């Protein structure tokens, strides 16, 4: 029995409660991780953001001849 088959065998209300529970857990984790980041002083500085911008690849366009 696969996990998907087991999940589909659950009553609809149970699946709904499980889905809402997972979404609430994820939202709480996002909120708490931001708060922990501020508390431990791990917020990105402007210098960190500039280093990241320099590390990202750049995309340049090249004009093609329209004769083709």
pLDDT tens readout for residues 4-51 = 999 999 999 999 999 999 999 999 999 999 899 889 988 888 999 999
3-class secondary structure per residue, 3-68: HHHHHHHCCHHHHHHHHHHHHHHHHHHHHHHHHHHHHCCCCCCHHHHHHHHHHCCCCCCCCCCCCC
The pLDDT of residue 38: 86
- Answer whether residue 20 is part of any domain: yes
Measured CA to CA in angstroms, residue 44 lies from 35, 37, 49, 56 at distances of 14, 9, 7, 16
When pLDDT is averaged across residues 49-54 and rounded to a whole number, the result is 94
- Answer whether residue 66 is part of any domain: no
Owning domain of residue 50: 3-55
The pLDDT of residue 68: 62
pTM exceeds cut of 0.75: no
- Answer whether residue 31 is part of any domain: yes
Count of domains forming the chain:
1
**Assigned token pair, 20:** 């809402």
The pLDDT of residue 52: 93
């Amino acid at each position: 029995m696969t996990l998907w088959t087991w999940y589909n065998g659950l009553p609809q209300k149970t699946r709904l409660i499980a889905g809402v529970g997972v979404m609430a857990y994820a939202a709480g984790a996002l909120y708490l991780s931001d708060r922990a980041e501020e508390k431990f002083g791990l917020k990105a500085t402007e210098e960190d953001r500039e280093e990241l911008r320099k590390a990202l690849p750049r995309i340049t366009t090249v004009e093609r001849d329209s004769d083709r």
